[in-house]
């Protein structure tokens, strides 16, 4: 299972923004809960790389509404927005930049290739 938790702190752990995002990967059955829980991580990384939900959805071969819904749920769970929604694409918030830096180092399973991970 992949989990993420955001906590407030008074320190300078995230460039003085007063929050910290912790991620942990706990191995389970390769295609069970781990894949379901890692979807938001993969979607956040794809959207941040492409700058558009629609473009990220095309690359992921998923409907844009599904990508957007997963990211919105993830943001709700973290209790902070990761993206600013703009008329022409999206831009990472400061929390999103921190999350992207952390998520870029979390190995994510690729459901199409058993035993393989994606970054």
Alpha carbons 108 and 117: distance in angstroms, whole number: 5
pLDDT at 21: 57
CB of 70 within 8 A of CB of 43? yes
Predicted pLDDT of residue 79: 93
pLDDT at 38: 79
Rounded Cα distance, 98 and 64, in Å: 24
Mapping DSSP to helix (H, G, I), strand (E, B) and coil, where does residue 79 land?
coil
Identify the CA nearest to 80 among candidates 5, 3, 23: 5
pLDDT tens string 58-92: 999 999 999 999 999 999 998 999 999 999 999 99
**pLDDT value of position 29:** 44
The pLDDT, as a whole number, for residue 107 is: 76
pLDDT of residue 47: 95
- Tens of pLDDT, residues 14-49: 445 555 555 554 444 444 454 456 788 889 999 999
- pLDDT level of residue 103 (50, 70, 90 thresholds): confident
Class of domain 2-118: mainly alpha
Q: Which helix (H) or strand (E) holds 65?
A: helix 64-78
Q: Answer whether residue 52 shows pLDDT above 60.
A: yes
Please check the confidence at residue 55 and state whether its pLDDT lies above 70: yes
Which residues have CB under 8 Å from 29's CB, separation 6+? none
- Rounded CA-CA distance 51/86 in Å is 10
pLDDT value for 23: 54
- List CB contacts of 66: < 8 A, sequence separation 6 or more: 57
CA distance 36 to 61: 16
């Amino acid at each position: 299972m992949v989990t993420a938790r955001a906590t407030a702190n008074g320190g300078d752990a995230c460039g003085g923004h007063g929050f910290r995002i912790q991620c942990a990967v706990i191995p389970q059955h390769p295609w069970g809960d781990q894949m379901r829980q890692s979807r938001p991580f993969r979607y956040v990384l794809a959207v941040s790389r492409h700058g558009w939900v629609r473009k990220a959805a095309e690359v992921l071969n998923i409907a844009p509404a599904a990508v957007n819904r997963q990211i919105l749920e993830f943001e709700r769970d973290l209790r902070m927005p990761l993206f600013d929604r703009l008329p022409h694409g999206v831009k990472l918030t400061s929390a999103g930049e921190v999350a992207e830096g952390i998520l870029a180092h979390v190995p994510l399973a690729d459901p199409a290739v058993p035993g393989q991970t994606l970054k």
